[in-house]
Structure 1
């Protein structure tokens, strides 16, 4: 993965309902996944034009991306990790922040996939655009998943 696949750039603007959660432990990811499912169902029910938001494949991709980004935040950036999701005109935005504004996401290079560390590569493969930025004392790593 080229280093510019996670460039430092601002997160896209969003409007409308937003999902938010804060975690301090990887065991809380189950609650985040459940919350995202409920939020996505509620957003889709409120807007008939967004029936595609309920697409199971998109939901699976969103849940995989949140698992990878949030666990990276806990492991490398430090708790608390905040998870935000919002719909955009093109799809879904996932924004995960942590307490390490000094270090951006660093995809593994030259590592045997059997040793792990491939989460950023997987998220990059699933998303159309991604990046990171610093706001205040938090790093925000974000990715957009396109609707089908």
Structure 2
């Protein structure tokens, strides 16, 4: 296992949308709303949405499964970057990439995130742990 880089994302980023999830069943609605939000803020929709939808789903699933609900998913923009920021309330568990896990064994969310995003990191506030991923947008 290797730890993710600990850093807050783009400090001047503006929040475009925020979704609060309490169950896995809400992931479908998140993806639909994310597509609409991306369409509102960029012309490069299809490929960008595909990558961001996988990352949003993986990070939100991790937060729901391993964190303490509710999970908050925010879409941010700073200059020419769109940023997904996913928060849960489990301050004791640090996000780590399990690089030795074989395909098909599950637990590849952070590996996929590192593949599809241009930058990935995490940070804590007083009450939440956040994992973020940045995309050109």
**Structures share fold, TM-score greater than 0.5:** yes
Q: Structure 1 or 2: larger helix share?
A: 1
Q: Which deviates more from structure 2 when the two are superposed, residues 98-107 or residues 76-85?
A: 98-107
**Unaligned stretches of 5+ residues in structure 2:** none
**Unaligned stretches of 5+ residues in structure 1:** 45-50
Q: How many residues are treated as equivalent by the alignment?
A: 136
Measure, in 1, the Cα distance between the counterparts of 2:101 and 2:33: 33
Superposed displacement of residue 86, structure 1: 1.6
What TM-score results when the alignment is normalised by the length of structure 2? 0.91
Measure, in 2, the Cα distance between the counterparts of 1:42 and 1:111: 37
Q: Which residue of 1 aligns with 2:6?
A: 8
Superposed displacement of residue 85, structure 1: 0.6
2:61 maps to 1:62: no
Describe the SS at the equivalent of 2:50. Answer: helix
Q: Which residue of 2 aligns with 1:143?
A: 133
Question: 1:101-144: CA deviations, max 9, x gaps?
Answer: 12221111322222111111011011111110001210010010
Q: Which residue of 1 aligns with 2:29?
A: 31
Q: Name the larger-Rg structure.
A: 1
What TM-score results when the alignment is normalised by the length of structure 1? 0.85
Question: 1:38-93: CA deviations, max 9, x gaps?
Answer: 1122234xxxxxx23x2x11110010000000000001112100000122223210
Q: Which residue of 2 aligns with 1:42?
A: 40
Q: Which residue of 2 aligns with 1:123?
A: 113
Which runs of structure 1 show a deviation greater than 3 angstroms over 4 or more consecutive aligned residues? none
Q: Which residue of 2 aligns with 1:87?
A: 77
